Amino acid sequence: MIPLRNNIASMAGYVPGYQPPDIASWIKLNTNENPYPPSPEVVKAITAELGQDGASLRTYPSASSQTLREIAGDLYGFDPSWVIMANGSDEVLNNLIRAFAAEGEEIGFVHPSYSYYATLAEIQGAKVRTFSLTDDLWIAGFPENYEGKLLFLTTPNSPLGFAFTPGYIEKIAQRCKGMLVVDEAYADFSDSNALDLVRKYENVVITRTLSKSYALAGMRLGLAIARPEVIAALDKIRDHYNLDRLAQAACGAALKDQEYFAECCRKIRATRDWFSGELRKIGYDLIPSQGNFVFAAPPDRNGKRVYDGLYERKILVRYFTDPLLSAGLRISIGTRDEMETTLKAIKEIG
């Protein structure tokens, strides 16, 4: 027996959405990736960074990603000292737990939401408390004074797609004695976000990712916005070269091309709203979505049956065995063409 820590020996490990090896032969709607390519400026920036012979790769990248902090700070209206760049927002979620929750201390999150928080807590040896949702999608029984070191609030929620209102998030922030991490992986598709709360409350952190709205899941890029004291703490913990050269080049180009970005988000939202309406017409039960996906249950509330039917047709969506979620499917929003094909398949499956 190798001398592992007990919590590592007993944990299962996170299972990400399936990435099929023959990816091009699927309509892939299972991990909320963007169906459009990133901005053409991204390709130019990566090519320029690489140069003819890749000589730039000999040297380490900028350790602080300072230029990117400035670009992101400008974009969201914060001084760069309020911004940290991450190798995917997963990295910054991990570092938040390491910074704020010692072994045996509690972190909280809503169930259902992003299950990776539980994995990160297990690695750290932190305790987990989950909060369920009421029928009208508020947090059930949230304490007047929540003592957990961190509360993760995924908004818009994945897999359900609804967003908490900024007013509600503010009330939650006031009730948290520890940090409130607002995971805004899908905020770019939503009508609201919680950026104002970071200015107002010192315990609020916002995390964002370039994986979904900027179509850069393959580059691993995320960021967090918080008070400089929080950012300084996270800076001590991260890998010192957490963003590689090509990722830094891609990130700057993507954040600067706001016109392309906005058009991409507009198309996805329009397709989402059209697709949601079509599913309702055939009796599907849907929560109105603020993300780039919908959570939808067929009339017989048998998510697995429809998942299997779509799988046979080489359409990959996300099915969760959790009893709270097994009635439905999470379907990422692809191009209009992909969603027309998917709708046709769903009608065939019946």
Ligand X SMILES: *Cc1c(COP(=O)(O)O)cnc(C)c1O
**For residue 349, which amino acid is it?**
I
DSSP state of 213: T
**Closest to ligand X by CB, 332 or 342:** 332
φ/ψ of 147, rounded to 5, equals -95, -5
Residue 234 interacts with ligand X (CB under 6 A)? no
Token pair 């040896």: residue: 125
Q: How many residues sit in the footprint of ligand X (CB under 6 A)?
A: 12
Binding mask 175-214 for ligand X (x = CB under 6 A): --------x-x-----------------------x-x---
Asked if residues 168 and 180 have their Cβ atoms less than 8 Å apart, the reply is no
Instruction: Report helix, strand and coil shares of the chain as percent, to nearest 5.
Output: 45, 15, 40
Rounded to the nearest whole angstrom, what is the least distance from the CB of residue 56 to ligand X in the complex?
24
Query: Token digits for 292?
Result: 């780039």
Q: Coil, helix or strand for 171? A: helix
Distance of alpha carbon 236 from alpha carbon 298, whole angstroms: 48
Residue 217 interacts with ligand X (CB under 6 A)? yes
Which of 112, 148, 222, 328 touches ligand X by CB under 6 A? Answer: 222
**Closest to ligand X by CB, 31 or 335:** 31
**Closest to ligand X by CB, 23 or 55:** 23
Distance of alpha carbon 248 from alpha carbon 260, whole angstroms: 19
Rounded to the nearest whole angstrom, what is the least distance from the CB of residue 136 to ligand X in the complex?
21
Binding mask 124-163 for ligand X (x = CB under 6 A): ------------------------------x---x-----
Query: Token digits for 246?
Result: 């090509």
Residues that bind ligand X (CB under 6 A): 88-90, 114, 154, 158, 183, 185, 209, 211, 217, 222
